[in-house]
């Protein structure tokens, strides 16, 4: 049963060959989030957007809303994966093993992406095993801090979108249901005995 607006939309929908020949997509961005102060930034996912402004907007509303989040970093995928680049500071991220998320390991000063990876191994990984390293030049990484630019909504109660927002009330309803059934059963047995 559709809303009126949706019914109208379906009525207007075309049939036959798709009219457009659109093929181009948007570039891919990687998003890292930090749950609370002091936590490590973890890779949360990727998204497609044509520019930084929209990438930041999308990152905030898609990856910044599943749980409390105080910091969000966004950069083009190419920036994280490139071995080239210029002499500057790089944020480096390590995936420890297959299946794990990339974690922020720290910052290094390097002449390019390749060098940043070497420095990352020297300073942060050392003899430990690892799967892959990403290195993003600081100049290409956008950082959003919730103290300046709100990410997770701090005012309105977000428990409506979390499983734990329903645990207590669901438990209470089950108990009430069972109590009612117990009473019903008791009363029906009572009636059977009497009549």
Catalog residues that contact other proteins under the rule CB under 8 A. Answer: 1-6, 8-10, 12-15, 18-20, 22-26, 28, 44-54, 57-58, 60-62, 65-66, 95, 97-99, 101, 131-132, 142, 150, 153-157, 160-163, 165-167, 169-170, 173-174, 176-178, 180-181
Closest CB to other proteins among residues 109, 166? 166
Per the listing, tokens 């093993």 go with 97
Closest CB to other proteins among residues 9, 40? 9
Min separation Cβ 24 and other proteins, Å:
6
Min separation Cβ 173 and other proteins, Å:
4
Min separation Cβ 179 and other proteins, Å:
11
Closest CB to other proteins among residues 37, 154? 154
Element (H, E) at 159: none
Min separation Cβ 194 and other proteins, Å:
25
Length reported for the chain? 195
Element (H, E) at 160: none
In the chain, the DSSP E strands lie at 27-34, 42-49, 71-76, 88-95, 103-110, 132-137, 142-145
Min separation Cβ 54 and other proteins, Å:
7
Closest CB to other proteins among residues 96, 115? 96
Q: Which residues contact 78 (CB under 8 A, 6 or more apart)?
A: 27
Cα within 13 Å of Cα(140), Cβ side: 22
Closest CB to other proteins among residues 14, 194? 14
Q: Percentages helix, strand, coil for the chain, rounded to the nearest 5?
A: 40, 25, 35
């Amino acid at each position: 049963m559709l809303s009126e607006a949706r019914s109208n939309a379906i009525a207007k929908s075309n049939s036959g060959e798709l009219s457009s020949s659109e093929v181009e997509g948007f570039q891919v961005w990687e998003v890292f989030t930090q749950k609370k102060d002091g936590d490590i930034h973890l890779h949360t996912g990727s998204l497609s957007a044509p520019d930084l402004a929209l990438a930041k907007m999308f990152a905030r509303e898609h990856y910044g809303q599943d749980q409390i989040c105080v910091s969000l970093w966004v950069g083009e995928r190419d920036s994280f994966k490139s071995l080239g680049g210029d002499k500057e500071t790089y944020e480096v991220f390590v995936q420890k093993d297959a299946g794990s998320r990339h974690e922020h390991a720290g910052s290094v000063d390097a002449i390019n992406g390749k060098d940043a990876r070497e420095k990352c191994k020297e300073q942060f990984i050392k003899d430990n095993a690892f799967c892959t390293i990403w290195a993003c030049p600081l100049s290409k990484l956008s950082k959003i801090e919730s103290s300046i630019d709100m990410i997770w909504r701090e005012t309105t109660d977000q428990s409506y979108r979390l499983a734990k927002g329903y645990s207590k009330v669901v438990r209470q309803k089950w108990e009430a249901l069972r109590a009612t059934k117990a009473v019903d059963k008791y009363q029906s047995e009572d009636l059977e005995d009497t009549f």
